[in-house]
């Protein structure tokens, strides 16, 4: 997306559908060359049907990984991701269900393991957000939904996955720039994203002796279905970043590849800030 390109206004309900977005997000750059960095690996990606998760799925597939994606209900988007992964010469299973349900988290991991025979890379990436201008509008129902989706699911998927991860395997968690700079209208959401930062740092220490690395990505404004599904006006989305534009999912995928592969073998407990130039701590 160019610096001055205006996004036409549009709105959807959650979960947003990539198939209904215009312009279409870029998933992977045409000139991205895979080099077998993830050959033979098996990756499970929550929220892998669309947006950042879809980009991660396609990049991982181009690098040789087999993919299991977990998503809420967006069957059309999930089937598209499956086709894109298969077009890379890889395999993809799609698993629909609600990650707020602890049993489903277990089932999603076992389905991946029984289909592919193991698990090496977990990408915790699913989320919801409900913008509220007034703090008092954040009721308990919203609090529960936001925390169960955005952080409890990361604990539950990880707990199930750890029965299968071994030395050299890794976990990557999607946080947000809002964890670092705060957000006046996404207080509960940004709180879960802050929890993901501490979760990542703490878990990395806990798993270091097993040589399982745990890192994260903190995206800035990225053109994904979450945006038209949750913001009233998207036409100026991302323009307030130093680079003056929103990011594309294609600009995230390579950072996940780095954290998933051996290139980052001496990196754990860290975040990469793919956010258009906002300088944040940590
Ligand atoms: P997205 O809508 O494409 O992805 C989010 C996915 O989460 C959805 O596809 C949906 O299937 C899944 N999901 C939500 N609730 C679920 C549930 N209860 N059970 C199962 N799956 C569920 O949007 P995205 O922007 O690609 O989001 C991916 C991650 O990036 C999220 O963690 C989000 O917080 C983070 N992020 C996005 C931005 C941005 O500007 N787009 C900025 C910072 C962080
Ligand atoms: Mg989706």
CA distance 117 to 4: 47
Q: Which has the closest alpha carbon to 14: 127, 178, 97? A: 127
User: Which has the higher per-residue pLDDT, 111 or 3?
Assistant: 111
CA distance 267 to 216: 11
CA distance 253 to 189: 23
Task: Supply the pLDDT for residue 10.
Answer: 95
Catalytic residues: 189
- Ligand 1 proximity of 88 Cβ (cutoff 6 Å): no
Q: Which has the closest alpha carbon to 212: 164, 155, 272? A: 164
Mean pLDDT value across residues 71-95: 98
Q: Which has the closest alpha carbon to 224: 50, 11, 44, 98? A: 50
User: Band of the pLDDT at 177, cuts 50, 70, 90?
Assistant: very high
CATH class for the domain made up of 36-274: alpha beta
CA distance 55 to 61: 10
Query: 138 pairs with which residues across the strands?
Result: none
Task: Supply the pLDDT for residue 5.
Answer: 75
Task: Supply the pLDDT for residue 45.
Answer: 99
- Ligand 1 proximity of 238 Cβ (cutoff 6 Å): no
Q: Any idea what the Cα angle at residue 89 is, between residues 104 and 222, rounded to 5°?
A: 60
Residue % of the chain over a pLDDT of 90: 97
- Ligand 1 proximity of 151 Cβ (cutoff 6 Å): no
Task: Supply the pLDDT for residue 229.
Answer: 97
Q: Which has the closest alpha carbon to 124: 62, 70, 169? A: 70
Ligand 1 pocket, mutate which of 94, 122, 224 (most atoms under 8 A from CB): 224
pTM above 0.95, yes or no: yes
Is-contact 34 63, C-beta < 8 A?
yes
Give the strands of the sheet with 42-46, arranged side by side.
Answer: 92-96, 66-71, 42-46, 121-124, 170-174, 213-217, 271-272
Sorted by sequence, the CB contacts under 8 Å of residue 140 that are 6+ apart come out as: none
User: Band of the pLDDT at 281, cuts 50, 70, 90?
Assistant: confident
Mean pLDDT value across residues 48-52: 98
Ligand 1 pocket, mutate which of 11, 14, 15 (most atoms under 8 A from CB): 15
Q: Any idea what the Cα angle at residue 259 is, between residues 254 and 265, rounded to 5°?
A: 135
- Ligand 1 proximity of 100 Cβ (cutoff 6 Å): yes
Task: Supply the pLDDT for residue 3.
Answer: 66
Read off the pLDDT of residues 182-192 as tens digits, 9 standing for 90 and up.
999 999 999 99
Sorted by sequence, the CB contacts under 8 Å of residue 75 that are 6+ apart come out as: 94, 96
Across the chain, mean pLDDT equals 97
For helices 153-161 and 102-116, angle between their N-to-C axes, nearest 10 degrees: 40
């Amino acid at each position: 997306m160019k610096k001055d390109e205006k996004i036409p206004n549009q709105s959807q309900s959650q979960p947003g559908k990539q198939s209904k977005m215009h312009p279409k997000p870029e998933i992977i750059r045409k000139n991205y060359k895979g080099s077998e960095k993830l050959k033979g690996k098996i990756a499970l990606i929550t929220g892998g049907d669309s947006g950042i998760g879809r980009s991660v799925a396609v990049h991982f597939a181009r690098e040789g990984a087999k993919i299991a994606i977990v998503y809420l209900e967006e069957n059309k988007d999930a089937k598209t991701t499956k086709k894109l992964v298969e077009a890379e010469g890889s395999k993809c299973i799609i698993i629909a269900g609600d990650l707020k349900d602890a049993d489903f988290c277990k089932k999603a991991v076992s389905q991946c393991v029984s289909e592919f025979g193991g698990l090496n890379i977990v990408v915790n990436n699913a989320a919801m957000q409900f913008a509220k201008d007034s703090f008092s509008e954040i009721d308990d129902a919203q609090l529960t939904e936001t925390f169960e989706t955005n952080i409890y699911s990361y604990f539950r998927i990880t707990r199930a996955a750890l029965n299968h991860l071994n030395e050299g395997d890794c976990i990557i968690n999607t946080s947000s720039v809002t964890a670092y700079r705060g957000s006046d209208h996404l207080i509960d959401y940004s709180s879960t994203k802050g929890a993901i930062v501490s979760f990542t740092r703490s878990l990395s220490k806990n798993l270091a002796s097993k040589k399982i690395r745990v890192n994260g990505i903190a995206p800035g404004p990225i053109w994904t279905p979450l945006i038209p599904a949750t913001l009233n006006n998207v036409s100026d989305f991302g323009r307030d970043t130093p680079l003056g534009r929103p990011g594309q999912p294609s600009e995230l995928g390579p950072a996940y590849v780095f954290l998933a592969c051996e290139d980052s073998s001496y990196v754990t407990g860290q975040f990469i800030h793919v956010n258009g130039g906002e300088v944040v701590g940590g």
